[in-house]
């Protein structure tokens, strides 16, 4: 595939369309057309600010008369606003006008819109949201981060296969290790559903057994598989814990003159660390198991985060993650489908 | 109740019985007898090191010929080793020789031993492990942190009532706020079980609705209610995230000469911060809903952490947390029991 087309929700994100348009322009190239979906007047105005950027000739504006804000109930808004930019971005994929969709806006709305409007890939029982999080092992794939509140053992087995492919293609790990999230290492620990999933996962290449909550920050495995309820709680807790600790650290660095001097000297090193751990910079989440990759970035991300999210979506298209997921599910159909 | 008796597993913890015996002696007083349960020869030897401590006259040694180590599968070991110190500590409560039990050793073993040997309190459907974690709001009670992998809506409602009493008595919050952990604020978000629990929790005083993973570090509510699977994943993830970020911070402070100087100046302030957030110092976890409080500390805690855990157990006895839980459950029996 020579030319990839990514539909970007230009009205998503804290200061939309400013940052989204800027990031889209940074990503656009002769190989990558970016469809800027949103209020055409506002987008056109932003575009005039960046006439000199080389990407300027590789963006297309798609008008969307409505938008979903960050404070709305995303799932509800995605249903109630069929002409919103996030819904129309996903519809570009459904209609064949784009190969992938990206939004930096309301996470719930993007999840709901992509599940509603981008059809499931062949062989996939349930799509899953995969997120790439910083960890002691570099980066770890966690899925499902919230596409489905409930999961069956066979779903978790498919999540494992999908996460494995993502780790191979996006993280570049040839033989990723996979763990099933539970509350003890033994196969008989956890809920009945998790115990049954453990048995089904045994034939998934790279499966090392159960892992615990502590293994997520440690990066014990490349891929952590769980249901969307637990995964969503874990992801939001992890992001928020990092923010809480950075705040506490900042307060500590203001607590005395000595600490202030120390903090000032340490700042560049801490900023590099924060950049590595910053959720805005590691590409957000991706909905797997649908016919076109859907990438969900963080609303507070800057233009570099937007570019990164668009490029992750394009890479997933070029690497044919979707086609390979279907092929893999066909090759290893699993006990419940056999 | 003038005199409280706490059975302490003297063989639990990283360098047992040294730290456990020392901490037990620090807690023991005319109002608080500490039963040191473990190898009587090793305990007697440790006691000779602290002849001058005032607590010396208020400890009793109870011999236990066996012990569970930190690396064993706790639940299995608690069943396989009926003469281990952790099991005998819990049996002191069952037999009426102690009012509460404390272990700083294998968490799984203490959970299993206390659930097996300390009987359920009247009206309680399922005991729950409550843990007090540092947060933006000071401290937050999270339960169930892993006593039961599966939960029903009525169990979560009882957990809410138990957590409320713990926040009142141990955290000193007269009117604690309570949130149900889910993946969205709306009552219809989450699994079917969580949605049903939301309806049942509406009559619990202080219930504010659903909270998300991010609300745990933020301390949005005083009490977070969840099933033992999700709660255990969340607790272990949170503790490990803190450890991971401290490690990253240490590495950042070694990355250049400038950063090293800054780190050295900042160290006292960061140490105070770490002390506040250190899981070893905030009293561990408590099994609620059994006839005697069972406190589970962290294996790496020092003697101050041991003393703190013993004192938390004693306070729960003096405040009659157990009796008040039964009274509260009787007063608000709930839809499913009505």
- The SS3 call for residue A6 is strand
B273 CB neighbours in chain A (<8 A) are 248-249, 251-252
Candidate from B181, B191, B251 with C-beta closest to A150: B191
| Inter-chain touch B150–A192, beta carbons under 8 Å | yes
Min Cα separation B239/chain A (Å): 7
Residue of B265, B272, B274 for testing the chain A interface, max A β-carbons within 10 Å: B265
What ipTM score was computed for the predicted complex, to two decimals? 0.84
Min Cα separation A226/chain B (Å): 11
Distance CA A297, CA A283 (A): 6
* Residue A150 in contact with partner chain B when CB distance is under 8 A: yes
Residue with tokens 């190989």: A31
Q: Which residue in A has a C-alpha nearest to residue B244's C-alpha? A: A217
- Write the DSSP symbol of residue A291: S
Rg (CA), chain A: 20
Helix locations, chain A, DSSP H: 18-27, 40-48, 74-80, 85-94, 107-117, 153-169, 192-201, 215-218, 228-252, 257-277, 303-318, 321-331
Class at the top of the CATH hierarchy for domain B1-123+290-301: alpha beta
Distance CA A282, CA B23 (A): 45
User: Is 3.40.718.10 the CATH number for A1-119+289-301?
Assistant: yes
Nearest-CA neighbor of B143 among B36, B259, B225, B265?
Answer: B225
Determine the pLDDT at residue A1.
53
Q: Which residue in A has a C-alpha nearest to residue B71's C-alpha? A: A185
| Inter-chain touch A236–B218, beta carbons under 8 Å | no
Distance CA A227, CA A231 (A): 6
A262 CB neighbours in chain B (<8 A) are 261-267, 269
Distance CA A247, CA A291 (A): 40
A212 CB neighbours in chain B (<8 A) are 232-233, 236
Nearest-CA neighbor of A59 among A79, A41, A44?
Answer: A44
For the domain made up of A125-288, give the CATH fold.
Isopropylmalate Dehydrogenase (3.40.718)
| Inter-chain touch A262–B269, beta carbons under 8 Å | yes
Beta bridge partners of A140: A133
Helices A228-252 & B257-277 angle (0-180, nearest 10): 120
- The SS3 call for residue A57 is helix
Determine the pLDDT at residue A164.
95
Yes or no: say if B35 and B100 are a contact pair by the CB < 8 Å rule.
no
Determine the pLDDT at residue B337.
45
Candidate from B73, B192, B238 with C-beta closest to A241: B238
Rounded to 5 degrees, what are φ and ψ at A59?
A: -120, 150
Yes or no: say if B283 and B308 are a contact pair by the CB < 8 Å rule.
yes
A vs B: CB pairs below 8 A = 203
Determine the pLDDT at residue A338.
38
Determine the pLDDT at residue B242.
81
- Write the DSSP symbol of residue A336: T
Residues 242-271, chain B: which have Cβ within 8 Å of A? 242-245, 247-249, 251-253, 255-256, 258-259, 261-270
SS (H, E, C) B282-315: CCCEEEECECCCEEECCCCCCHHHHHHHHHHHHH
Residue A73 to residues A79, A110, A295, B184, B273, Cα–Cα distance (Å)? 10, 11, 19, 9, 36
Segments of chain A assigned to CATH 3.40.718.10: 1-119+289-301, 125-288
| Inter-chain touch A217–B240, beta carbons under 8 Å | yes
Determine the pLDDT at residue B298.
74
Nearest-CA neighbor of A296 among A307, A308, A283?
Answer: A283
Segments of chain B assigned to CATH 3.40.718.10: 1-123+290-301, 125-288
Nearest-CA neighbor of B282 among B177, B149, B138?
Answer: B138
Min Cα separation B327/chain A (Å): 31
Determine the pLDDT at residue B338.
38
| Model pLDDT for residues A224-266, shown as the tens digit of each residue | 999 999 999 999 999 888 888 878 888 888 888 888 888 888 8
- For chain B, list residues with pLDDT below 70: 1, 276-283, 334-338
pTM: 0.86
10-residue mean pLDDT series, chain A (338 residues): 90 91 96 97 96 94 95 89 97 96 90 88 90 85 91 97 91 94 90 97 96 94 97 91 81 84 83 68 76 84 88 90 87 60
Q: How many CA atoms lie within 13 A of A57 on its CB side?
A: 5
- How far apart are the two ends of chain A, measured CA to CA in Å? 33
Determine the pLDDT at residue A263.
84
Q: Which residue in A has a C-alpha nearest to residue B252's C-alpha? A: A269
- Write b or e for each residue in A93-118: b if 16 or more Cβ atoms lie within 10 A of its Cβ, otherwise e: bbeeebbbbbbbbbbbbbbbbbbbbb
| Inter-chain touch B218–A190, beta carbons under 8 Å | no
């Amino acid at each position: 595939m020579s030319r990839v087309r990514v539909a970007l929700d230009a009205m998503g994100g804290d200061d939309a369309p400013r940052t989204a348009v800027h990031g889209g322009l940074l990503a656009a190239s002769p190989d990558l057309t970016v469809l800027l979906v949103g209020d055409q007047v506002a987008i056109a105005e932003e575009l005039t600010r960046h006439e000199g950027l080389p990407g300027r000739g590789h963006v297309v504006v798609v008008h969307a008369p409505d938008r979903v804000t960050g404070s709305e109930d995303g799932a509800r808004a995605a249903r109630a606003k069929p002409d919103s930019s996030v819904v129309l971005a996903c519809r570009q994929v459904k209609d064949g006008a784009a190969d992938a969709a990206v939004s930096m806006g309301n996470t719930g709305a993007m999840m709901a819109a992509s599940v509603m409007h981008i059809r499931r890939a062949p062989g996939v029982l349930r799509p899953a949201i995969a997120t790439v999080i910083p960890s002691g092992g570099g980066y770890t794939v966690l899925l499902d981060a919230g596409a489905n509140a409930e999961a069956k053992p066979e779903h978790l087995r498919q999540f494992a296969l999908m996460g494995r492919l993502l780790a191979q293609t996006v993280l570049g790990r040839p033989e990723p290790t996979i763990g099933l999230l539970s509350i003890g290492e033994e196969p008989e620990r956890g809920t009945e559903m998790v115990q049954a999933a453990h048995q089904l996962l045994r034939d998934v290449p790279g499966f090392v057994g159960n892992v615990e909550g502590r293994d997520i920050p440690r990066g014990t495995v490349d891929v952590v598989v769980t249901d969307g309820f637990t995964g969503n709680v874990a992801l939001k807790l992890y992001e928020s814990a990092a923010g809480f600790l950075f705040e506490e650290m900042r307060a500590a660095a203001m607590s005395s003159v000595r600490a202030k001097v120390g903090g000032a000297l340490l700042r560049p090193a801490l900023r590099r660390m924060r950049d590595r751990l910053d959720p805005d910079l590691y590409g957000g989440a991706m909905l797997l198991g649908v016919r076109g990759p859907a990438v969900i970035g963080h609303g507070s991300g800057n233009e570099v985060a937007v570019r990164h999210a668009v490029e992750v979506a394009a890479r997933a298209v070029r690497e044919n993650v979707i086609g390979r997921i279907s092929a893999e599910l066909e090759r290893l159909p699993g006990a419940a489908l056999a």
